A = this chain, B = another copy of it.
Amino acid sequence: MFHVSLIPIRSGSASGSGQERRDAARNRELLLCAARQLIEECGADGLTMDKLAERAGVGKGTVFRRFGSRAGLMMTLLSDAEAEFQGRFMFGPPPLGPGAPPLERLIAFGAGRIGYVLEYGDLARAADHSVYNKFEVPAAVLWHRHIEHLLRAAGFDADPWLMAMSLSATLDPERLLHAVRVHGVSPERLEESWRQLVTRVVGSAEGGIPE
């Protein structure tokens, strides 16, 4: 398993030019630690930026300088899991990773994403809840590109970009969680419906070449 430059999730660690100042690093750890504590106590939805600042013993400005927004904080908290998932579908073993036929990979991608969303629940939803351009977040762009690429590889040649958007919409955390929590849909049912969807979309097109 490589650790080559995945898509930068967030300024999780000392990246960019120069070093990170000591106090900044200390506060970052303090904040992340306090955030995990609070989420355990109140749930992701119960975490407020004020409580976080107070718990970590820093000013509110510091919280926002570090994470930019509430959604940014949530992304940072998810960044490990996210990087792991990215690693799996980009470099991992088939059928999720390269080596399987595109359709198989699409099916596995959806299943993986469904599992991810159900595992992290509110956290994933809160991370998506950036008021504007939640579609331009690096991770989201990567998923979109990945789906688009698999569609092309599977021989789908009618506007793969838009079709990838439609497929991404299906995997939206808010919708998935709503189906599961409000309507009691099982993860297996979600996966099966996703399988139906992508299978039919890719269609009886020749099936594409494994890669």
Which positions in A face B, CB cutoff 8 Å? 133, 135-136, 158-159, 162-163, 165-166, 169-170, 172, 175, 178-179, 182, 185, 189-190, 192-193, 196-197, 200-201, 203
Contact of A162 among B159, B163, B193 (CB under 8 A): B193
Q: List 7 A-B contacts (CB under 8 A).
A: A135-B178, A162-B179, A165-B170, A165-B179, A166-B169, A169-B175, A201-B201
Report the separation of the CA atoms of residues A182 and B162 in the bound assembly, to the nearest whole angstrom: 13
Contact A175 B165 (CB under 8 A): yes
Given contacts A169-B170, A175-B169, A178-B135, contact A159 B196 (CB under 8 A): yes
Please report whether the interface of chain A is mostly helix, strand, loop or mixed according to DSSP: helix
Other contacts beyond A165-B179, A166-B169: 6, CB < 8 A? A135-B178, A163-B193, A163-B196, A166-B197, A170-B170, A200-B201
Report the separation of the CA atoms of residues A190 and B162 in the bound assembly, to the nearest whole angstrom: 7
Contact B163 A197 (CB under 8 A): yes
Contact of A197 among B175, B178, B179, B201 (CB under 8 A): B201
Nearest-Cβ distance from residue A200 to partner chain B, whole angstroms = 5
Contact B201 A159 (CB under 8 A): no
The residue of chain B having its C-beta at the shortest distance from the C-beta of A196 within the complex is B158
Cβ of A189: which chain B residues have Cβ within 8 Å of it?
Answer: 159, 162
Contact B158 A166 (CB under 8 A): no
Nearest-Cβ distance from residue A2 to partner chain B, whole angstroms = 31
Contact A185 B200 (CB under 8 A): no
Nearest-Cβ distance from residue A179 to partner chain B, whole angstroms = 6
Contact B193 A158 (CB under 8 A): yes
Nearest-Cβ distance from residue A161 to partner chain B, whole angstroms = 8
Report the separation of the CA atoms of residues A189 and B162 in the bound assembly, to the nearest whole angstrom: 8
A-B pairs with the 4 shortest C-beta distances?
A169-B169, A162-B193, A166-B170, A159-B193
Cβ of A163: which chain B residues have Cβ within 8 Å of it?
Answer: 193, 196-197
